[in-house]
Amino acid sequence: MASSEVGEVLEFEEYVRTRQEALLRSARRLVPDPVDAQDLLQTALARTFGRWDGIADKSLADAYLRRVMINTRTEWWRARKLDEVPTEQLPDASVDDGTDQRADRALLIDVLKVLAPKQRSVVVLRHWEQMSTEETAAALGMSAGTVKSTLHRALARLRQELESRELDARELERNERGRERCAA
């Protein structure tokens, strides 16, 4: 093994040692089972190791690895077999289908689109990835004070957008009721 290859291996090992916990948190957000999350991370790390020398800007390694985890999870989802067995009798227990949670997540993702890219990055890293202010600042190459002020403005903008959407929904509902009365 050439010395440059050894250096790449050592660099990758150091990266994994320092970022392992944060990456595992990301994997746990992608798959509900903790064991599957560990498998997902290991698979993503193995795939990333093969491309490690191709990542020119190592500060983007977290983003690259998260994309690999998302793609891997999607591959697993597509390849899974349905383990449902038809029966004559339906189960009595009701099951929470998670519709409300998915709707909230979809709304959040949609609302995040109103933010500037820098604001969106700060919100995602601080609140979704649960990074500290200092970790976020280091990841984005800005000062901790800039992270705080950007986060403050971004959250205010998100609140404003949510309130605006709530008002729009109420107005739409009032208009619908008015149309129903006129039709009756």
- What is the reported pTM? 0.45
Copy the structure tokens of residue 142.
Answer: 């800005």
114, 157 contact by CB (below 8 A): yes
pLDDT band at 147 (very low <50, low <70, confident <90, very high): very high
Mark residue 141 as left, alpha or beta (left: phi above 0; alpha: psi -120 to 50; beta: remaining).
left
pLDDT, position 106: 81
Name the least confident of 14-18, 42-46, 50-54, 63-67.
Answer: 50-54
Q: What is the H or E stretch that residue 173 is in?
A: helix 144-183
Quick: pLDDT tens for 52-105. Answer: 888 888 888 888 999 999 999 888 887 775 555 667 776 666 666 778 788 778
Distances (CA, A) of 6 to 9, 12, 45, 53, 114: 5, 10, 17, 11, 45
